[in-house]
Amino acid sequence: MSEILQAIRGMNDVLPVEAERWQEIDELLRDWLRAYAYRPVRLPLVEPTPLFARAIGAATDIVEKEMYSFTDSLNGEQLTLRPEGTAGCVRAALQHNLLYDGPKRLCYQGPMFRHERPQKGRYRQFHQVGVEALGFAGPDIDAEQIIMCRRLWDDLGLTEVRLEINCLGQTEERSRHRAELIAHLEAHAELLDADAKRRLHSNPLRILDSKNPAMQALIEAAPKLIDYLGEASLAHFAGVQTLLKDAGLNYRVNPRLVRGLDYYNLTVFEWIADSLGSQGTICAGGRYDGLFAQLGGKPAPACGFALGLERLLALTEEQGLFAGGAGAPEVYVVHQGEQAARFAFRVAEALRDANISVQLHCGGGSFKAQMKKADGSAAMLAAIIGDDEAAAQEVSLKPLREPAQQQRRVALDQLAAAVGELLFD
């Protein structure tokens, strides 16, 4: 026998029970997005590589080393598996002129691909829910997006998720800060690690995000972007904070919070679950007013965030929420004999007509063996059909989990009502 092929490292299979937990959370997410009037879009997994280079920034981790890029062997085009969703969403908004009649609230979810070192909470194929408010300039939408996250944690029953926010200002403010930041870092060049040296002139703001303990004192003493912000940026930031306080949210202003993507300006935020350790950011986002123009379109302000679903699921699991297992059928149909087998099909369909989930035994076997399967399926009831029942157009209903309930025989036209009674009363 040849060797069994394995999935790519960092790209996970999600199997039953776990996949049911995903589904339960998906349903909750859908209601949550609707509650804030975000409308779904479905976008390609593959986009032209230049889209990400232009949107995310050439000197970012993602574009420098995390993208799955390849040449389309049929026409030579440079393509990339999407590492995030914002670039594609803005591309689609421009391509279809979605903002022609005003701002839009859009959302999507699906797999993203980054060539990272796989570890807990960090995968090469992972899933995000993305939320994008396109065409909105004021601090109200930033605050609403942050508040909406809080509601999701509440809906999920999550506790211990904390919020950090910062204001990145505008390009001119950042470039004044950047010049002084580089000067500060250059004055202590001997303390910089290789990564920081490499970033010094390409993306110095990212050095502030370094986790290297040896550099923390240097970073602590570095010029703070917030001291370079003008009146308008500070007013925007204050506006966001007023609304967060009105909503009773606790948060910390973290002046070192920067994001790994170049398109952000003004508000940035992260929701962090410390219990997940160094992969603790479950949700991150902010404003990206420059992105429309950067992608060649008419300028439009925008704000969005992305939720990492694997991390969110890990957190719900850690906190004992969403057990899964909802995929068990309600009724398992066992049958023996040719007439019974044909009648069993009618029985199963009649139950499904009444919205009851049914696993019809397929593949034969003795009653005893079939009852074992019924038991193993976690169904609440077995519907038993022998030749006798088939001839009378009846079914024996056997409760599998509630010893107090009696087995009983019911006619086909009474079946759904009888099952409903046993399941839901």
Q: Are strands 162-167 and 252-253 parallel, antiparallel or unpaired?
A: parallel
Instruction: Determine, following the binding rule CB under 6 A, whether residue 304 of this chain makes contact with ligand ATP.
Output: no
Residue 184 Cβ vs ligand ATP, minimum distance, rounded to whole Å = 24
Contact letters for ligand ATP, residues 258-277 (x by CB under 6 A): -xx-----------------
**For residues 351-386, b (16+ Cβ closer than 10 Å) or e, as one string?**
beeeebebbbbeeeeeeeebbebbeebebbbbbbbb
Instruction: Determine, following the binding rule CB under 6 A, whether residue 287 of this chain makes contact with ligand ATP.
Output: no
| Pair 150, 282: CB distance under 8 Å | no
Q: Helix or strand or coil: residue 223?
A: coil
Closest-by-Cβ residue to ligand ATP is: 308
Give how far Cα 177 sits from Cα of 113, 116, 203, 225, 234, Å: 33, 30, 12, 6, 15
Residue 259 Cβ vs ligand ATP, minimum distance, rounded to whole Å = 6
Cα separation, 134 vs 106, whole angstroms: 8
* Closer residue to ligand ATP, CB minimum distance, 216 or 393: 216
Residue 60 Cβ vs ligand ATP, minimum distance, rounded to whole Å = 9
Instruction: Determine, following the binding rule CB under 6 A, whether residue 317 of this chain makes contact with ligand ATP.
Output: no
Residue 307 Cβ vs ligand ATP, minimum distance, rounded to whole Å = 7
Contact letters for ligand ATP, residues 79-98 (x by CB under 6 A): -----x--------------
Angle at 325 between CA 323 and CA 327, to 5 degrees: 140
Instruction: Determine, following the binding rule CB under 6 A, whether residue 330 of this chain makes contact with ligand ATP.
Output: no
Tell which one of 18, 24, 116, 155 touches ligand ATP (CB under 6 A): 116
Tell which one of 310, 330, 389, 394 touches ligand ATP (CB under 6 A): 310
Tell which one of 80, 109, 128, 166 touches ligand ATP (CB under 6 A): 128
| Pair 328, 423: CB distance under 8 Å | no
| Pair 332, 382: CB distance under 8 Å | yes
* Closer residue to ligand ATP, CB minimum distance, 260 or 324: 260
Residues 6+ apart with CB under 8 A from 218: 185, 188, 191, 192
| Pair 281, 311: CB distance under 8 Å | yes
Residues that bind ligand ATP (CB under 6 A): 84, 114, 116, 121-123, 126, 128, 259-260, 279, 281-284, 306, 308, 310-311
